[in-house]
Amino acid sequence: MAMSQRQITVIKTVVFILCLLPLARLIGFAVLDQLGANPLEFITRNTGDWTLYFLCATLAVTPIRKISGWSWLLRLRRMLGLYAFFYASLHFLTFLWFDHFFDLAEMWADVLKRPFITVGFLGFAGLLPLALTSTNGMIKRLGGKRWQLLHRLIYLIVPAGVLHYYWMKAGKHDLSQPLMFAVLVGVLLLMRMWWRWSASRSELS
């Protein structure tokens, strides 16, 4: 399905607004005092969930594009990735603020002490260079090949996010949701590996 530039602009605007809805909902809940008995936990968990959803959506763009033939989907990938970074930043900020009251030394000790926080932190640290190099200018400056190589970090970041979730829930003996995400991310990554392998085989023959 081919799209005109105008149609793509409309779709991008709609998606941009939709991606802000989780934040708007959170703000609405806060204003209406509907964040539950532990508001800080609610915000940390909610922003963590949305980081993972956006990371999965970003990773799903290429497989869905290849299967459906909708090449215009690629035009949404950068926005989805940046929204993942945006919600991860909110998630990290709520942790830094509410768990440690901006005490960086104390936060760092926590990052080193609790393995699920260590992995989450690594995932967030990995997202930072991707967000910083997401502009057209940076793509040009780095060159397509180097930019692509750097952005393959996403293949480590998303599993790190899933492991972070898994470890957090393992302490609570509730693994059904993290396992669901592990399967989803596993399938998305395996599809890529399969396509790459088939492409290299057909190049050889």
Which parts of this chain interact with ligand HEM (CB under 6 A)? Answer: 41, 44-45, 48-49, 51-52, 55, 88, 91-92, 95, 99, 111, 117, 120-121, 123-124, 157, 161, 164-165, 168
C-alpha span between 46 and 34 (Å, rounded): 13
Q: Which is nearer to ligand HEM, 86 or 121 (CB)?
A: 121
* DSSP assignment string, 11-37: HHHHHHHHHHHHHHHHHHHHHTT-S-S
Closest distance to ligand HEM from the beta carbon of 198 (Å)? 30
> Contacts for 176-181 with beta carbons within 8 Å, 24 or more apart?
181/52, 181/56
Closest distance to ligand HEM from the beta carbon of 15 (Å)? 20
Q: Which is nearer to ligand HEM, 78 or 164 (CB)?
A: 164
Q: Which is nearer to ligand HEM, 89 or 133 (CB)?
A: 89
> Which residue's Cβ lies closest to ligand HEM?
48
Closest distance to ligand HEM from the beta carbon of 97 (Å)? 11
C-alpha span between 83 and 185 (Å, rounded): 18
C-alpha span between 25 and 156 (Å, rounded): 30
Closest distance to ligand HEM from the beta carbon of 85 (Å)? 9
- CA 161 vs CA 104, 126, 166, 168: distances in Å: 22, 11, 9, 11
Q: Which is nearer to ligand HEM, 61 or 107 (CB)?
A: 107
Q: Are 163 and 119 in contact (CB under 8 A)?
A: yes
Q: Which is nearer to ligand HEM, 52 or 61 (CB)?
A: 52
Closest distance to ligand HEM from the beta carbon of 25 (Å)? 15
